[in-house]
A = this chain, B = another copy of it.
């Protein structure tokens, strides 16, 4: 077996082992040391002797300090590393780096659904917005009836989605932090994949009243010149006599929206109408080597094409804050990054934890020693363009907020995905090393494997294999272009594996306020 190791930066004193199954002790690395330990795939080997207390460098960054002297050829696992303290949020370089300008990328298009507000959907879905968990059972029943009885009559509608959630009542709705879940729900119901059609199912007595979730003026005009108003089915309305009448009301209102949705057709729109959210989950040491760099390359292409691309995951960028603030387009953007990450630091402190709460057993098994190393591999997804905007959690991007966006969200796959939906995402990219069947009902998710082994085993769950980069079969650039083209195909209607199996996860709200 040809030993294959990957070093990210010329300053690095460790490299990771790329071979499937790792490498045995005694293996001589070409131009490097002989392995003194068996090193698992994705794990680090010391390329040179590292004295006790000296930095262990990966991505050219100190991901930790050696707790003891480490000989060249040793397996550098997480127990040998002392994690550095988090970089203070004061005195950061603010908008100091201006990336070389890139030529615009023109002529790329996809087939999308143009909405009344100018945004573009990649799917044509009926969404049923709910104000409160109380109605979830009734809505699930109605949803099945709509799928079985109504959708066959409306062949141009791709599906129906219940926007159900744990919020709406039994929560401290006037707490300062309650603004986050409330605006998240508001903005999800306005996601471009729902065509500007909003129908709400409410119980009646809940704290989150429909008018509070969607105040007058927030709903796009459905038909030219016509204010659709707020279409609410309230289960407690006196007109409802019996369970069947509640279901009938929901089906009747669904028909009104299905009629309009069914008249829509895909049309050719520029790639600039993509609003792509990127995320990683079940990460391993390959995430930052194969899939995330390919996503970063594609991110640059998207920005050059005039599109919007969001990266997120506060705890996974926190240790790279210096890279973010320096790459901010303006000092105001840099300050917004500091403000969001500072708010999150304090949020974690209230719960008596810090950013190191992020890494998982799977991350560590996959070779990621700590959150610093994980963050360095995670941040790569953002590419090299200037950071143009910062979006607080639950907020929605304006149509003029294009380019690279830092959408400040927790790293939890579901909370991040939910908040990116609220931001207006119409296409989702998800990289994974350990493997996850992640999906969203509201938006197609393109899943990118970091390793060929995973892509082979999960052949009908992974949409793209970035492991080809580690295999030497493809360059980062080639993978980035392949992803970019796949995104245009999926945006045009090509179904992802998760869509084919109808796999989707729950909406999970970020609610930093108390429940009651």
Contact = CB atoms under 8 A, between A and B. Distances in A.
B176 A352 contact: yes
B457 A241 contact: yes
A416 B505 CA distance: 23
15 contacts: A133-B414, A137-B438, A166-B166, A170-B410, A172-B353, A175-B351, A176-B351, A203-B282, A204-B434, A204-B435, A205-B362, A236-B362, A240-B457, A241-B457, A350-B350
A502 interface: yes
A438 B363 CA distance: 39
Interface of A: 133-138, 140-141, 164, 166, 169-177, 203-207, 209, 235-236, 238, 240-244, 246, 281-282, 315, 347-348, 350-353, 355, 357-358, 360-363, 365-366, 410-416, 434-439, 457-461, 497-498, 501-506, 508, 510, 512-516
B458 A205 contact: no
A242 B516 contact: no
A133 B415 CA distance: 11
Given A362-B206, A459-B242, A514-B357, A172 B351 contact: yes
A506 B353 contact: no
Given A238-B457, A461-B243, A175 B137 contact: no
A137 B498 contact: yes
Contacts of A513: 351, 353
A361 to B, nearest CB: 6
A361 B207 contact: yes
A374 to B, nearest CB: 11
B170 A437 contact: no
A412 B170 CA distance: 4
A207 B348 CA distance: 17
A292 to B, nearest CB: 17
Contacts of A240: 457-458
B205 A434 contact: yes
A262 B303 CA distance: 59
Contacts of A236: 282, 362, 434-435
Given A137-B503, A348-B172, A505-B137, A516 B357 contact: yes
Contacts of A172: 348, 351, 353, 357
Contacts of A363: 205
